[in-house]
């Protein structure tokens, strides 16, 4: 471990292990705190160095040399620099492993180095580098994968709040790439998503006093806030009393109370077997999605955060939807086929590596949907249903 510290801050005279934060504190002969080392199962995962280096701002060439020096000390010369950014206080250098056969970068691998403007190494973070690759017997070419992608509906009819709630063609999130064997990759066909669905809500009794219902017999306060794009109810209570009615029914009653006559158009987002990947304790967030004319407003749901052990509600958020306006919208001038033809001019595929959900060390090859000429460097947001203008997600 000392060989990873002393080249940057000098000789270590004393070490102290602090069990509560799993850090080894390192000091020099003068008693100065010069480094912290974080280890997991005997493997160094992060080192923070303390000190400073006076002088002028380093040049790009000097930054490159310091990066090489850190790689050499950590025996990571096989890594490749994938990004260098200025975070406003220091330079951050991202380095990744590259798979040897197809020269594809390995996600979340390598190391991250933070270097001060004057050249002092401040932090080194080691990512997951113990990986294995699953090589397919056959792999289709890039052009073949792109041709397959261009037979699929990359966008679908939707409504864009950014266009004052007008029709647009939005990203089809079910489609997420092409397999190296040529099959189209759809989230809806993944095993974890087989039992995920939108469910009709039951007929429940209408709440007369919303605040009292949210408290559920507890002592406390309900605060309702009107934010830019949502209503939010926060329940402040130290009382852990239980409510007799089941959590799901209580959540549905809240949805009915705050959605009014639109309750019939809200559906429960049942994640099925996927829910255990997201929530493994008593605290859950139940989402209710507005669906009209087969358009699901996934990003404008009503969310009810609950404790399922006590059936008590902790908070509620309702994204604001102009229900009346949606019923008087003009139909788009562009057809679905025309919108997808526009998107095909930008959509491409890139061979990437995907981590196995059951074995984090294992990676397999896939063709991912990308937009290499995107002006923001990010994915498509939507196509205007009237003008055909393509809007892109901001990559701030």
Check if the beta carbon of residue 268 is closer than 8 Å to that of residue 247: no
* Residue boundaries of the structural domains of the chain: 2-131, 142-194+330-392, 198-326
Check if the beta carbon of residue 5 is closer than 8 Å to that of residue 34: yes
Cα angle value 146/149/150 (rounded, 5°): 90
- Looking at 137-294, which runs of residues are DSSP E strands? 155-160, 166-171, 175-179, 184-186, 197-200, 221-226, 230-236, 266-270, 283-292
Q: What is the pLDDT of residue 347?
A: 97
Q: Token pair of 16, please?
A: 């102290």
Q: What is the pLDDT of residue 275?
A: 59
The model carries a pTM of 0.82
Q: What is the pLDDT of residue 272?
A: 76
Q: What is the pLDDT of residue 396?
A: 57
Q: What is the pLDDT of residue 123?
A: 97
Check if the beta carbon of residue 290 is closer than 8 Å to that of residue 325: no
Q: What is the pLDDT of residue 42?
A: 80
| Cα–Cα dist 106/133, whole Å | 10
Q: What is the pLDDT of residue 278?
A: 52
Split the chain (396 residues) into runs of 10 and give each run's mean pLDDT.
91 86 90 92 91 90 97 97 94 97 95 97 95 95 98 97 96 95 92 86 96 93 92 90 92 97 96 62 91 94 94 96 94 97 98 92 96 94 97 83
Q: What is the pLDDT of residue 328?
A: 92
| Cα–Cα dist 117/111, whole Å | 19
Q: What is the pLDDT of residue 41?
A: 81
What percentage of the chain's residues is helix, strand, coil (to nearest 5)? 20, 40, 40
Q: Give the single-character DSSP code of 276.
A: H
């Amino acid at each position: 471990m000392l060989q990873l510290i002393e080249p940057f801050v000098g000789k270590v005279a004393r070490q102290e292990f602090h069990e509560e934060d799993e850090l080894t504190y390192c000091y020099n002969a003068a008693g100065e705190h010069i480094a912290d080392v974080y280890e997991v199962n005997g493997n160094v995962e992060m080192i923070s160095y303390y000190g400073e280096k006076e002088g002028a701002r380093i040049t790009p060439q000097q930054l490159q040399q310091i990066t090489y020096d850190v790689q050499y000390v950590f025996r990571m010369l096989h890594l490749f620099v994938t990004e260098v950014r200025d975070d406003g206080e220091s330079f951050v250098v991202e380095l990744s492993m590259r798979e040897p056969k197809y020269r594809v970068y390995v996600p979340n691998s390598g190391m991250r180095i933070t270097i001060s403007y004057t050249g002092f190494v401040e932090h080194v973070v080691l990512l997951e580098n113990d990986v294995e690759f699953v090589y397919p017997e056959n792999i289709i070419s890039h052009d073949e994968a792109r041709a397959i992608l261009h037979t699929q509906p990359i966008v679908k009819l939707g409504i864009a709040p950014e266009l004052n709630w007008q029709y647009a063609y939005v990203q089809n999130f079910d489609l997420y790439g092409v397999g190296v064997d040529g099959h189209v990759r759809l989230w809806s066909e993944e095993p974890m998503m087989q039992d995920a669905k939108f469910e009709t809500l039951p007929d429940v009794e209408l709440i007369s006093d919303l605040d009292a219902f949210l408290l559920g017999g507890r002592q406390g306060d309900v605060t309702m806030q009107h934010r830019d794009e949502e209503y939010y109810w926060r329940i402040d209570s130290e009382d852990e009393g239980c409510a007799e009615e089941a959590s799901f029914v209580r959540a549905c009653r809240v949805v009915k109370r705050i959605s009014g006559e639109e309750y019939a158009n809200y559906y429960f987002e049942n994640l099925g077997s996927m829910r255990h990947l997201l929530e493994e304790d008593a605290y859950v967030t139940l989402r209710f999605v507005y669906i009209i004319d087969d358009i699901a407003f996934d990003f404008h749901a009503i969310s009810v955060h609950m404790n399922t052990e006590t059936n008590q509600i902790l908070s509620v958020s309702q994204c604001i939807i102009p229900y009346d306006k949606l019923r008087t919208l003009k139909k788009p001038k562009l057809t679905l086929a025309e919108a997808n033809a526009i998107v095909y001019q930008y959509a491409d595929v890139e061979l990437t590596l995907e981590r196995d959900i059951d074995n984090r060390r294992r990676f397999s090859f896939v063709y991912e949907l990308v937009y290499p000429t995107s002006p923001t460097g990010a994915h498509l947001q939507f196509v205007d249903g009237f003008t055909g203008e393509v809007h892109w997600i901001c990559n701030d």
